[in-house]
Structure 1
Amino acid sequence: MIADQSPTQTRQSTCLERAGDSIDRSIHGFFYRVGRFCCNRPKTTIGIALAISIICAAGMAKLTPENRPEKLWVPQGTQAGIEEEQFFEYFPANSRFQNVIISSSKNDGSSNVLTKDKLVNTMKLHESIESGVSSYNGTSYTFSDLCTVAGGSCVSYDVNNPICNCLVISVLKMWNYDLATLEADEDILSTLTNYGTKEDLSGVLGNPSFDSSGKLVSAEAISISYFLADRSIVEDGSETDPINEEWEKTVFLESVQGAEQEYTNIYPTYLSSRSFADEFGGEIQGDLVYVQVSYVVAFIFVGATMGSRLCGRGSRWAMAFSALVLVAMSTVAGFGVASLAGLIYGPVHSVLPFVLLGIGVDDAFVIANAFDREREGVPREKEDDESLVKRGARALARSGASITVTSLTDLVAFAISASSALPALGSFCAFASINIFFLWALSATFFTSTMLLDEKRQRDNRRDMLCCLKRKTISDEEDNGSKEGFISRYFRYYHGPAILSKAGKPVTLLVFAGLLGFGIYGTMELPVEDSSRSFIPSDSYVNDYAAAADNYFPSSGTSLYITFENGEDIYASRTSLSALDSRVSGLSDKSPYIAEPDSVTTYQNVMAGMKNYLSTYGTAAIGNVTLGEDGWPTNYVDFVASLSAYASIFGPGAPYAQDVSFSSGQTNLEALRVKLEYVRLTKLRRGEVIDDADRQIESMDATREMVESWTDLPPAFPYCVKFIDIEGFKIINTELYRNVGLAILAVGVICLITVANVITALLITINVAACIVEILGFMYALGLVIDSVSVINLVLAVGLSVDYSAHIGHCFMVKGGYSKDNRVIEALADIGASVLNGALSTFLAVAVLLFSTSYVFRVLSIQFALTVGLGVLHGIVLLPVLLSILGPRPFSSAEEPKNKDSELVKREVMDKTAHAESFGLDALEEFEDLEEYEA
């Protein structure tokens, strides 16, 4: 009878359609065989899966943790990396920085900190830091034991005062860091005025004021900087300095943290080299409890929704637990294989369990749904073991293609991003790809086997989670599998008809067009920002320090070093180098934003210092060599000898001792550096002070151009510790759109291969792309920025959002019939509940992180919530409407429509009539007898 024919029998199939049919049959057959094997031998399959997971997990012994920012967030082989290597060849890292800013107490009515009593308490605080003792491995250390050795720290050198040999920067040097000398001083302001110029004082005093004669009157803060000689080592990818870190913790931090209570009229804010690791690392570790809570939430939700009831026969709490075990096994197995492959493990990898939880639970719902649908009309009591095996095989054949489409798109999307120039992003995506493979394989084997055992448990009327105990009676309320669940009925009778109605389709398209327009606007406005401050918890002392620095030292920024190479060239350009300040003046308010070279804080040039010394004192104290008419030694050898004596630790130029690099015998000058300083490059964004990434990039590029333009000077290159981060800012925008774009392209290609239909694959891809654009728009609206964390989460968004659309798209292709609306409703009723439950379980698990104070977890939770919310809306609202309008014919193996009511039949007739010409058939001929078709 004509009416019983499927659509594929009414006209010749295209080559692509035949290919799609072939792929669908191949996938269906493959999973049928896998399902039959697993269901015939469930315990064996579970044992093999556990054994493989444990063996793979053993690879975690090779796990390579990495916490150095330059190895995680900076493209390797960049110019900044090369400059850093060159710089440290001449001037090895030799100092750890500690700084305390002393201001008036919050309870003090005066803002002036330069009073006798406040200076005395400041000196007492310094003495507690200087004399404090730390212990490591049984050895005691004080500051003088650990400090960076340098001269010039005291106003007059005292061989009996150890602090004079240490690098400390503070106005307290005017009293040689001696409390008695300070207390005996009757005119402290005159003493402080002798520290140097106004600019020199502005570098160590916060917002100083001067009278008309230039005498210091007051200041709002005092800065004291301590430098420890670097003793760091790298172990297993982590850089540590245990001796100095112990002193910083037990002496410096404890001293300043107790100062406000001990000294009531001063208020310290402080920063240590270990502060960022303590505050950021501690925040991450503290918030890892949310990971455990999220798994508990997921377990409760899955257990409550996967079965037909909460308790009694039909409950599936054991399967909820099995789904979490599935995720755990995949996680440890994937981590083990990734570790064996030598991939680095960074702090951001801690978000992977949430990604895997979302994907794994989604697959579990799809398989459980297939088990239920394959039992339609058959009571459990009527199923023998062979019937259960066949049902399990059919269930996996039914669901296997769907989880393969989503898993393969996820895997390839992440695999493409594994090539990222940012090592942390590349490693994260490689980890994710490996883990998703294990999720796919274990879902099809381990979870299917446990599902089969659970079905046997329910058939035998045994208790959930306590399968050794049997119920005494069989519930009369047990259904025979023919009744659809609440969510499926909702999709069939309410959701589907609403969005597919005459008004529903245009309204849906209009609403999502508005969302897309909003997303495009937000994407264009979304900035790249330096979010390093955001990584610090809001209640951290580091934020108090940053606020104090912004307030009291607004012009102080990051140090910049310009390194000149080749000693003979340096000697040849000696006069020009000594006057380098003229070349970097006037750049504070324009690119490259270098502070005016008018103080020892903002400009330190050993050539200028030596020139002034030679013109005043000659060479009597530094080698007694002959000077030429230009005031410099007459030859290169004498110049090197004089410079070596001048810039030695105990020489007259001791403050410059760190700025010259000689060969081992001190006979050849290899390089010297000139220290400059950038102005503070910050801006106000939404009421918060943040670092200005755009101006930082501009300043770095302009600095390099400036140095390259000095063709009359020796070969030189700039170095700034921030350049490494700024290189990341330059590339991260490109990395975002490149990786996300390639991931979306991969989604399209994989959907085309697995779904094997151009139209459906294109609609799924467009759906995912629109979802990502809208996520970017909401990121802008919520105040998020493009940074290292959000880029990783956006790549994850591609992998997660495709799941919701791919399930619906594939299910639409396996639903038979002429009416696209009918096929859409059948697809929603079939797979919609699984998609919605998977999305809700992911959302509830991640929603726990909204309470986190960690920047990483907070941004993760916001972006995951956006991904789940927008992804599921596109999957169950927009895509069904698009498929109802543009959807292609089903596979030849598609299921014939079931339980047609007259309205659905009439809809098919109308659809067939409207498309009669495109089919080349006479619709009236095809449906001459409506009643016959209904029968």
Structure 2
Amino acid sequence: MNLQTEVRGKVVRFKDACRRLAEYDDDDYEGEECYAPSFLSLWNYELNSLIGSKVPILDKLSALHVATDIETFAANVVFEERKDGSKRVLSAEAVVLVFPLRSDDGASYDIQPAWNAGIAGAIDGAVLEVFHYSNRSFDDEVGRLVSGDIPLFAVGMCIITLFIALTLGAPTSLHRSRVLLGVMAIVNVLLAVGGGFGIASAIGIRFASIAALLPLILLGVQVDSVIILVDNLDAQSDAEPLDERIGKSLSKSGPAILVTALTTISAFATSTTTTMPAVAMFASFAALSFTVALPVVFTFFLALLVLDERRLKAGRISFAPCVRAHDARADEPAPADAVPGGALPATKRARSNKASDLRNIGRVQCFIRDVYAPTLLSPPVSALVALAFVALVVLSALSVPFIKVGQPSEEVLPDDSYVIPALGIEKATFGGVRGGAQIVLRGENYDNERTRDAYRRTRRGVLDLDFVKAAPPDWLNQYERWRESEGIELADGPFLARLHDFLGEIGSTIFQDDLVCDRDNSCKHPSDSRLSAVLLTGTGDQIEQIGLRTRLEAVLQREGFDTGFVFSEGFLNAESDVAIWTLTWTNMVYALAVIFGIMLLFNPLPIAVWITVCVAFIDLDLLGVLWAVDLKLNAVSYVNLVMAVGLSVDYSVHLAHAFHESHAGALADAAPGEVVSTRDSAVYALTTMGASVIKGGFTTVLGVLVVAFASSVAFRTFFTLISFTVLLGLLHGMVLLPILLTYCTVPPASRRLIGESQRVASTASSKGESV
């Protein structure tokens, strides 16, 4: 095949991109065919030689088996035992061809798609089934994954846009619905994403494929803030001026929105320093996007909310603000049913923490106030629920040693990728995936015969390892053969004196990649050299390759090459897998510490402690989820664990803020000696904020729901963990935290009032008075 393609306006042949090493199998070889470390060396890699060979192919394969292990290139070989003890090859289930490519220019990389298509099309599919992949295949398939799922993500945006447009107001009313405001809430998110991505790109942060999910994540989180802001505004009396209603709404929801934004940004910011580049890139894009989102919601969306309130008061249609609804009155008050999150305290006292004082509440709030909260906060139920949460955390902690680590290559590829069956066949037939390793020797003097002997022993030692299946020709062996062919003796001068001439010979230039020569390019004293090996990496799990690297390094150390090292692309991911537990615990602790600090700035110490405890419980529970649903700890799940610290705190912060505000306000306005109950404050917080929190959690899941139908395991794993994060966040915020606030939180002011109440009661009792 004479494959060629156009690369940057220049026609490039595949022969120009591959390594042509076959001439070393035959000194008289003058062709240009690409070298492939396989049994094709028996025919000098020429198709005509193969077709015209007078020796039967199987006999030649049998001869090859005498010289080397034929199972290096063929799988499930069937042999016939001969009388003389030798073996004859009868058949094989599969054969493998490996084509090394040049690395000194982009041609070898750019031509790979044409080569993959050409080799697949050149073979009769009715006779042979061809599976193929190259280094570029992974890059192309991951790119196809992201671009292919963009329409799916767009559908997700449309779904959540429709949901928020219909639920921000009364969906059955033309003028009391908030359709246009809901649509603009999505524009608010797009502005944040555009700003964050733009800043990240401007400062040189590379885009990670998993960052494609950020718009959906940001959408779900930002919609929470929008819902809280709108519901708090709806809870204000229509009789008050608009500016006062906006001010009161911001005073109630603004601090919680600010705190949740700061905690989310901080959680991502702590991960930007991780040693895993993909995670650091994702965290950088996320931190910048959430940072931009904060001022956008308090400026752009707030301005839109004011305009929408004016439209509402004027009785105009929500999706056509220039048209007045025929059945609307400009001064019409909002009915209770139109205020899904509305909850106004009556005027028994200036500030009340009793849910019974609330008016204009919907059916959900009534259920929470009259049924859910009293049941949850009864002492027996609270004790059982608290024990259940503790038991869940303990079980999750016990499951940690059983969590598997690793990121199989197949999981980051589209389900229909041609690479997945190729990897599967390679594992099934050859017992593992093949990979290349570069063994680099540094600062060695090859003019010394002892060094050359150690090099030869190293190469033999590497080939003797059970997982090393082959090694291409090396520069030292070929240089010695060239010296012999040129009649150069050891007494003729330093051994490396003619190395520069050898590397300039036709067919030998390929070895220039294996040496780091002097600055003058004489190569009389190369500083570094390398030899290559083809590895069989077992099941393909990256973490297993660390053991292979250790055994290769042991060969180097045995021969005294203490400064040498072994490199393979697979080792990069393996290093991440080895370090991922340390990175996970470190970043979780850092994020929790930052969150605790932020909580202390806005809340009393007990509330800050219990919010942090809830977030810590959620992260531990997520580790239990990994074990329960048989997911591995890898870059994708690591990102979710770090992100959970920022996302899950939202649900707790809103409830805690409502609790603290109602309790502190009631304490300040209480009569002397009056006891303000933390239980009443917890019921009040659940009633006023519970429905909004639940709705916000639902919108987050709805925003990422389409990811469940994504075309890769990695993206679907992301959806699974995000969904569990929201579920656990809601459970801890709506169930555990109210219990902790009720029974384990007594602010100092409350203790003084309780003490004052007891003192007054004691005094009254001594005087014979009734209190």
Query: Normalised by the size of structure 2, how large is the TM-score?
Result: 0.86
User: Is 1:573 the counterpart of 2:451 in the alignment?
Assistant: yes
Whichever residue aligns with residue 113 of structure 2, its letter is K
Matches within 5 A, 1:260-275: 262-275=124-137
Structure 1 residue 503 displacement after superposition: 3.6
Distance 2:601 2:295 in 1: 19
Which of residues 402, 407, 425 in structure 2 aligns to 1:525? 402
Distance 1:264 1:457 in 2: 70
User: Is 1:921 the counterpart of 2:768 in the alignment?
Assistant: no
Whichever residue aligns with residue 567 of structure 1, its letter is N
1:746 equivalent in structure 2? 594
- Report the more deviating stretch, 401-410 or 834-843: 401-410
Which of residues 178, 188, 203 in structure 2 aligns to 1:316? 178
Q: Counterpart of 1:776 in 2: which secondary structure?
A: helix
User: Is 1:546 the counterpart of 2:420 in the alignment?
Assistant: no
1:484 equivalent in structure 2? 361
Matches within 5 A, 1:491-530: 491-530=368-407
Unaligned runs of 5+ in 2: 340-358, 667-675
User: Is 1:865 the counterpart of 2:738 in the alignment?
Assistant: no
Structure 1 residue 484 displacement after superposition: 0.9
Q: Deviations over 1:255-284 (max 9, x none)?
A: 343356x34121111112321122111011
User: Is 1:255 the counterpart of 2:133 in the alignment?
Assistant: no
Q: Counterpart of 1:560 in 2: which secondary structure?
A: strand
Matches within 5 A, 1:683-702: 690-693=540-543, 695-702=544-551
The count of residues paired between Structure 1 and Structure 2 equals 726
Distance 2:87 2:472 in 1: 21
Distance 1:402 1:877 in 2: 19
Distance 2:495 2:433 in 1: 34
Q: Deviations over 1:429-470 (max 9, x none)?
A: 333333323322222222222222212211111111211101
Whichever residue aligns with residue 364 of structure 2, its letter is I
Matches within 5 A, 1:83-122: none
Q: Is the 8 A contact 1:135 1:141 kept in 2?
A: yes
Structure 1 residue 659 displacement after superposition: 4.4
Q: Counterpart of 2:129 in 1: which secondary structure?
A: strand
1:840 equivalent in structure 2? 698
Whichever residue aligns with residue 32 of structure 2, its letter is P
Which of residues 151, 165, 173 in structure 2 aligns to 1:303? 165
Q: Is the 8 A contact 2:186 2:219 kept in 1?
A: yes
Distance 2:528 2:684 in 1: 76
Structure 1 residue 638 displacement after superposition: 4.5
Q: Counterpart of 2:193 in 1: which secondary structure?
A: helix
1:345 equivalent in structure 2? 207
2:15 equivalent in structure 1? 144
Structure 1 residue 203 displacement after superposition: 2.0
Q: Counterpart of 1:674 in 2: which secondary structure?
A: strand
- Flag the 1:768–1:716 CA change in 2: closer, same or farther, 3 A: closer
User: Is 1:798 the counterpart of 2:675 in the alignment?
Assistant: no
Structure 1 residue 876 displacement after superposition: 0.6
Unaligned runs of 5+ in 1: 1-129, 233-240, 589-593, 626-632, 683-689, 893-911
Distance 1:872 1:347 in 2: 29
Structure 1 residue 714 displacement after superposition: 8.1
Q: Is the 8 A contact 2:444 2:451 kept in 1?
A: no
- Flag the 1:579–1:331 CA change in 2: closer, same or farther, 3 A: closer
Distance 1:457 1:389 in 2: 15
1:167 equivalent in structure 2? 35
Distance 1:444 1:352 in 2: 21
Q: Counterpart of 1:538 in 2: which secondary structure?
A: coil
Distance 2:232 2:653 in 1: 16
Distance 1:828 1:788 in 2: 36
Whichever residue aligns with residue 135 of structure 2, its letter is S
2:486 equivalent in structure 1? 622
- Report the more deviating stretch, 661-670 or 728-737: 661-670
Whichever residue aligns with residue 79 of structure 2, its letter is F
Distance 1:802 1:271 in 2: 44
2:614 equivalent in structure 1? 767
User: Is 1:390 the counterpart of 2:244 in the alignment?
Assistant: yes
User: Is 1:360 the counterpart of 2:360 in the alignment?
Assistant: no
Distance 2:765 2:216 in 1: 52
Between the aligned residues of both structures, percent identity stands at 26
1:675 equivalent in structure 2? 532
- Flag the 1:147–1:256 CA change in 2: closer, same or farther, 3 A: closer
Structure 1 residue 154 displacement after superposition: 6.0
User: Is 1:208 the counterpart of 2:77 in the alignment?
Assistant: yes
1:228 equivalent in structure 2? 101
Q: Counterpart of 1:131 in 2: which secondary structure?
A: coil
Q: Counterpart of 1:215 in 2: which secondary structure?
A: strand
- Flag the 1:669–1:503 CA change in 2: closer, same or farther, 3 A: closer
User: Is 1:730 the counterpart of 2:578 in the alignment?
Assistant: yes
1:778 equivalent in structure 2? 625
Whichever residue aligns with residue 921 of structure 1, its letter is R
1:235 equivalent in structure 2? none
Structure 1 residue 647 displacement after superposition: 7.5
Which of residues 433, 443, 467 in structure 1 aligns to 2:297? 443
Q: Counterpart of 2:215 in 1: which secondary structure?
A: helix
1:469 equivalent in structure 2? 323
- Flag the 1:605–1:332 CA change in 2: closer, same or farther, 3 A: closer
2:350 equivalent in structure 1? none
Whichever residue aligns with residue 417 of structure 2, its letter is S
Structure 1 residue 526 displacement after superposition: 1.9
Distance 2:9 2:740 in 1: 72
Which of residues 110, 119, 139 in structure 2 aligns to 1:277? 139
Matches within 5 A, 1:537-616: 537-554=414-431, 557-564=434-441, 565-568=443-446, 570-580=448-458, 583-584=461-462, 587-588=465-466, 595=468, 601-602=470-471, 607=476
Q: Counterpart of 2:386 in 1: which secondary structure?
A: helix
Q: Is the 8 A contact 2:499 2:523 kept in 1?
A: no
Distance 1:220 1:644 in 2: 44
Whichever residue aligns with residue 304 of structure 1, its letter is L
Whichever residue aligns with residue 715 of structure 2, its letter is F
Distance 2:327 2:109 in 1: 67
1:902 equivalent in structure 2? none
Structure 1 residue 570 displacement after superposition: 4.7
1:639 equivalent in structure 2? 495
Whichever residue aligns with residue 640 of structure 1, its letter is L
Query: Normalised by the size of structure 1, how large is the TM-score?
Result: 0.72
- Flag the 1:420–1:918 CA change in 2: closer, same or farther, 3 A: farther
Distance 1:326 1:890 in 2: 41
Which of structures 1 and 2 has the larger relative contact order (alpha carbons within 8 angstroms, sep 6+)? Answer: 1
Which of residues 622, 646, 660 in structure 2 aligns to 1:813? 660
Q: Counterpart of 1:312 in 2: which secondary structure?
A: coil
- Flag the 1:634–1:528 CA change in 2: closer, same or farther, 3 A: farther
Structure 1 residue 841 displacement after superposition: 0.5
Q: Is the 8 A contact 1:203 1:556 kept in 2?
A: no
Structure 1 residue 244 displacement after superposition: 4.2
Q: Deviations over 1:279-306 (max 9, x none)?
A: 1110111112232222212112222222
Q: Is the 8 A contact 1:744 1:798 kept in 2?
A: yes
Q: Is the 8 A contact 2:500 2:522 kept in 1?
A: no
- Flag the 1:557–1:245 CA change in 2: closer, same or farther, 3 A: closer
Structure 1 residue 799 displacement after superposition: 0.6
Distance 2:12 2:393 in 1: 62
Distance 2:169 2:682 in 1: 25
Q: Is the 8 A contact 2:35 2:45 kept in 1?
A: no
Whichever residue aligns with residue 556 of structure 2, its letter is V
CA RMSD of aligned residues (A): 3.3
- Flag the 1:823–1:278 CA change in 2: closer, same or farther, 3 A: same
Q: Is the 8 A contact 2:542 2:571 kept in 1?
A: no
Distance 2:703 2:749 in 1: 36
